[in-house]
Amino acid sequence: MATIYQVSELAGVSLATVSRVMNNNVRVSEATRNKVLQAMEQLGYRPNSIAQSLASSRSNSIGILVSELHGPFYGEMLTGIEAEFRAAGKHVIIAAGHSERATEEDGIDFLRSRNCDALILHVEAVSDQFLIDLSKKETPFVLLNRQVPALADRCISLDNELGGYLAARHLLQQGHRHIGYIAGPMWKADARDRFHGHQRALAEYQLTADEALFFEGDFRETGGSKGLQALLASGRPFSAIVCANDEMASGALTAARELGYEVPADFSVMGFDNVNFAYYTYPKLSTIDYPVSAMGHMAARWVLKKVYQQSNIDVQQVFNPHLIPRDSVAEAANT
Amino acid sequence: MATIYQVSELAGVSLATVSRVMNNNVRVSEATRNKVLQAMEQLGYRPNSIAQSLASSRSNSIGILVSELHGPFYGEMLTGIEAEFRAAGKHVIIAAGHSERATEEDGIDFLRSRNCDALILHVEAVSDQFLIDLSKKETPFVLLNRQVPALADRCISLDNELGGYLAARHLLQQGHRHIGYIAGPMWKADARDRFHGHQRALAEYQLTADEALFFEGDFRETGGSKGLQALLASGRPFSAIVCANDEMASGALTAARELGYEVPADFSVMGFDNVNFAYYTYPKLSTIDYPVSAMGHMAARWVLKKVYQQSNIDVQQVFNPHLIPRDSVAEAANT
DNA sequence: TAGTATGATGTAAGCGCTTTCATTTATAGC
DNA sequence: GCTATAAATGAAAGCGCTTACATCATACTA
C-alpha cells in the first residue's frame, strides 16, 4: 500500500503539500495539486484513515447504541442514521444494549473506547444520573427517544404522551367507553408516557382507566397475546383495547382470532408506532405514527452540526406523533 | 486523558512494560504487572485504540455490508454478527448497499478505506468477477448468502434451491397441481435458485411451471400484492401460489383479502424465510425456515477463525432450509 | 567460580498521517 | 528596480501506541 511519503516523492513535493491537497481546505496552487492528484492516481494511493485519526485526533466514527438490531423499529432508525452519515463520509459503529443496564453501560464504554467522535444513544435502562455523568466526559452524545431534563439540548424525542392521548381520544370519539390497555414495560419512560397520555384523554371524558383492564406487556408479540388473554380473563367487558406498540397489537390480533373473536366487530384494537407491517396485519392496524426514520436522520444531523461544526444544519428536537386510522378500530356498538 | 506514558511514569516502569501488561501475552513479573495495573486504575487510563491500531496495523474492526439495515431479515443477521464480535472485543462498522451495484461497490470501498480487518458482505448486485478481484486485495472477506464457485471457501450460504424444492413439494403433496409463482427479482441469485428448486419439484410430478402463472416481484410486500393481482388477471386457474419470500407472501395475503378471497380455502400461499412476523399474519404463514441469525453468527466466526486465528472455532458453510407448515396451506380441493 | 541460559525490563525506531512554524517564491506598490 | 506583503511550500515535531533489539539480573551447569 502506497503511503503519503511515496506520493510526495513521485509528485516531487513535500508530505505537507500532499496532506494539504487531501484536506483541500488550504490553498495549494492548481499546478501542484494536479501533480499530486496524478501521483496518487498512479500509485493507487488511499489514505490510511487510522493514521489520519491519530494525527488529527478525530476518528470520523460515530457510535450507535440501540436496544436491538432487529425489529422494525430499530431497523428504520439505523437506516436513517446510516444514510445521513454515509453521505457525510463518516462511519457508524453499532452495538446493542438489549435494554439491560449492564449491557447498555458496557456498550457505551465499548463505543467510547473506540474513540468515537460522538455517540447516538437509544438507551432505556441506564439512569438519568449515569447520563448526566457521562455528559461531563469528553465524548459528546445525543439521546434518541429519551427525555432527560438536565440534558434537554441533547434529546431527540417523540411526544409519547401526546401519542397516547391521540390513540385514546380516537377510541373515545368512536364511542368507546370501556377500554383495555396493554402497556409496555412500565419502567420504560416511553411506556409510561404513552399511558399517561391515555389517562389524560380518559379524564377529558370523565373516565379513569380500569385497573382490571390494564396489563403490562413487554412490547413484543407475545406480550400482546398474553395481554389480551389477561383482559378477557378479568371478566370485565370492554369494546376496545389500546396496545402500547404495534408488535403487541399484532400479537393481540392473532390471539383474538385464535380465541374466536373478530376485530373490530367484537372489539377495536389500536397500535402505536406505525411500523412497516402494520399495514399488512388483518385487519389493517389503526395506529399512531412514529417518525422514527426522520428522528434517526435528525440525530445524525445533530452530530453533524454540534460535533462536526456543520453550522448550516437545522435540528428539530421534539417530534409529534399523529393518528393513522385504519381498519382495526370501528365505532362502538350502542353501549 | 491519560496516556501510556503517564502510566509508565506513575508505575515507575518503561512504556514497553505497560504495553506488555495490556497485551498480556508476554511475561511480566507479577509484581510489576500489579504496579502497572494499579497505576492504570489510579489514572483512569484507557488505551487509545486508534494509536494501538496504527502501531499494530490491526484495527479490530469488521466491516459489514448488507442490502438494508431495516427489514426482518437483515436485522436478524446483524444481531447474530454483532453478538459474536462484541463478545470477542471487536467492533462492527456497518453500511448499506441497497442492492445496487454502484452503492455496493462504493460501500465496500468505504469499508476498506476504514481499515477494517475483514469484511462480511451481503451483496447482490456486484459481479462475481468484482468479488474475485477483490479477493486478491489485502482485506479478507466472507460472503453471506451468495455462492461464488471460485470463492467457495469464503461463502456462507443457504441451499436456496433446496428451499424452493421443499416449498413446492409441500404443495404438491397436498394435492396442488396448478401453482402460481411470485418470484424475487430474477437477477438475484437466491431468487433464481428458489425458482429452480420449485421447477425441480414440479418435474418430479411431471409438471412444468406455467408461464402465465409466474410473476417477478421485488421481495417486498407490494410485490406480493401486485403479483397476486397479476396471477388473477391471467385468467388461469390455480389452487396455490408460492412466494419467494415472506414479505411478498404477506402482501399477497393482504391483497387476497381485499379482493374477497379466503386463504387457504380459495388458494394456498407459501412463503419463504420464516421471518419473525410470519407467525402473526392471518392466516399464519406456512413457510421455509432460513436460519439467518445462525448464519450471521457463522460469518462472524469465520472471521474470528481465519482472520484472528482463533483456531478452535468450527465453521459451517452451507445451511439447509426446512419446511414450517402452518395455516396458509391446505389440501387441494378435488381438481 | 566462571560461563551460559533465561526471564524481566528498557531503548528507540517506527506506524502514516496532521499541523505549526519557518522559508521561499510570486505579486504589487511606488 | 526595490521593498512590503501575500501566497505557496517545506521541515519537523508530534499523535499514543507496538515491537524488534539491547541490556541487565538471576539461576543454573559443570
Report, as an integer, the average pLDDT of A320-332.
96
Per residue in A267-324, pLDDT (tens digit) is: 999 999 999 999 999 999 999 999 999 999 999 999 999 999 888 899 999 999 999 9
At a CB cut-off of 8 Å and minimum separation 6, what does A286 contact? A170, A268, A269, A270, A271, A323, A324, A325, A326, A327, A328, A329
| Angle at CA of residue B107, ends B184 and A72, nearest 5° | 55
Which of residues 44 to 63 on B have a Cβ less than 7 angstroms from any strand D atom? 45-48, 51-52, 54-56
Contact A13, A35 (CB under 8 A): yes
Task: Quote the pLDDT of residue A309.
Answer: 87
Q: Is it the case that residue A72 has pLDDT exceeding 90?
A: no
Per residue in A168-195, pLDDT (tens digit) is: 999 999 999 999 999 999 999 999 999 9
- Would the Cβ of A34 be found within 7 angstroms of any atom in strand D? no
Q: Is B294 on the interface with A (CB under 8 A)?
A: no
Residue whose C-alpha is closest to residue B238's, from B270, B216, B206, B201: B270
Q: Would you mind telling me the total number of residues written for chain A in this entry?
A: 335
Counting runs of H as helices and runs of E as strands, what totals does chain A give?
12, 12
B304 exposed, middle or buried (CB, 10 Å; 0-12, 13-18, 19+)? buried
Contact B79, B92 (CB under 8 A): no
Contact B273, B287 (CB under 8 A): yes
DSSP for B125-165, written as a single string: SS-HHHHHHHTTSSS-EEEES---GGGGGGEEEE-HHHHHH
Q: Which three cell numbers stand for residue A129?
A: 444520573
Domains and CATH numbers, chain B: 4-47 (1.10.260.40), 59-159+292-321 (3.40.50.2300), 160-290 (3.40.50.2300)
Best mutation target among A69, A76, A81, A259 (most B Cβ atoms within 10 Å) is: A69
Cα B136 from Cα B110, distance rounded (Å): 17
DSSP for B209-278, written as a single string: --GGGEEE--SSHHHHHHHHHHHHHT----SEEEESSHHHHHHHHHHHHHTT--TTTT-EEE-SB--GGG
Q: Is B209 on the interface with A (CB under 8 A)?
A: no
Residue A238, amino acid: F
Q: Which three cell numbers stand for residue B260?
A: 374477497
Contact B283, B327 (CB under 8 A): yes
Q: Is it the case that residue A23 has pLDDT exceeding 60?
A: yes
- Would the Cβ of A5 be found within 7 angstroms of any atom in strand C? yes
Residue with nearest Cα to nucleotide C9 C1'? B17
Test A250 with B277 for CB contact under 8 angstroms. Answer: yes
Task: Quote the pLDDT of residue A1.
Answer: 79
B309 exposed, middle or buried (CB, 10 Å; 0-12, 13-18, 19+)? exposed
The minimal CB distance from B50 to the residues A50, A74, A79 is found for A50
Q: Which residues of B touch A253 (CB under 8 A)?
A: 280, 282
A23, A25, A27, A28: CA torsion to nearest 10: 20
Query: Given the C-alpha cell 401486485, which residue does it identify?
Result: B226
Q: Which residues of B touch A90 (CB under 8 A)?
A: none
**What distances in angstroms separate CA B131 from CA A41, B121, B191, one per listed residue?**
22, 10, 20
Task: Quote the pLDDT of residue B24.
Answer: 80
The minimal CB distance from B50 to the residues A115, A138, A280 is found for A115
Q: Is B290 on the interface with A (CB under 8 A)?
A: no
Per residue in A89-143, pLDDT (tens digit) is: 899 999 999 999 999 999 999 999 999 999 999 999 999 999 999 999 989 999 9
Q: Is it the case that residue A26 has pLDDT exceeding 70?
A: no
Task: Quote the pLDDT of residue B240.
Answer: 98
**CA A171 from chain center: how many Å?**
27
Task: Kindly give the pairing relationship between strand A179-183 and strand A155-158.
Answer: unpaired
Q: Is A50 on the interface with B (CB under 8 A)?
A: yes
Query: Residue B179 pairs with which residues in a beta bridge?
Result: B240
Q: Is B5 on the interface with A (CB under 8 A)?
A: no
Task: Measure B207 CA to nearest chain A CA, in Å.
Answer: 33
Residue A277, amino acid: F
Positions in chain B whose pLDDT score sits under 50: none
Task: Quote the pLDDT of residue B26.
Answer: 66
Task: Quote the pLDDT of residue B64.
Answer: 97
% of chain A beyond a pLDDT of 90: 92
**CA B45 from chain center: how many Å?**
38
